[in-house]
Amino acid sequence: MSNSVIQCRCKKETEAEKYERIAEVIEEYKDREGSLIQVLHMAQGIYGYLPVELQRFIAQKMGLPFSRVSGVVTFYSFFSTKPRGENTIRVCLGTACYVRGGKKIVEKLREILGVEVGGTTADGKFSLEVMRCIGACGLAPAMMINDRVYKQVNPDKLQSILEKYY
């Protein structure tokens, strides 16, 4: 039996190769209903974020006005025009979480990470964002790190939660 380890090569992919992959996605999706949002999701997955040059590329390839593409990107909070950290922290500031200390969580994370909301740590490890209700109001305050939901978050436990991502 082989013990060889499969190495991920994603980080080594060149800019041109990423654009090539995005062009393939556009070819596949462009005639489908609601394709723009799907293409943007896939493009963000491939490129990491959606800078203006990439939005122009998508608009041109899909035969859409640039304003339409940029309008969708700016409307939805899950699209980012700036590079994101390896892990995205989203603190809920919906009503229940806000009332039960969501803001304290944001303050504590700003202090621990040394970034403002919308920012990314210097080591590229975390991006800090806020969002509205994530459906865990009964166990507020809540936050997400990537796809994992943390409920009844105690600001004093944040440091140990973050350590799991190093």
List contacts with ligand FES (CB under 6 A). 92, 94-97, 133-137, 140, 142
Residue 46 or 89 with smaller CB distance to ligand FES? 89
Residue type for position 90: R
What is the nearest approach in angstroms of ligand FES to the Cβ of residue 156?
19
Rounded to whole angstroms, the Cα distance separating 4 from 124 reads 29
Which residues fall within 8 angstroms of residue 80, CB to CB, at 6 or more apart? 44, 49, 50, 127
Token pair listed for 40:
């943007």
> What angle (nearest 5°) sits at the alpha carbon of residue 60, between those of residues 56 and 64?
100
First to last CA, the chain: 31
Residue number with the shortest CB distance to ligand FES? 94
What is the nearest approach in angstroms of ligand FES to the Cβ of residue 161?
17
Residue 117 or 137 with smaller CB distance to ligand FES? 137
What is the nearest approach in angstroms of ligand FES to the Cβ of residue 2?
46
Residue 131 or 162 with smaller CB distance to ligand FES? 131
Name the strand (E) or helix (H) holding 69: helix 66-75
Residue 23 or 96 with smaller CB distance to ligand FES? 96
What is the nearest approach in angstroms of ligand FES to the Cβ of residue 151?
8
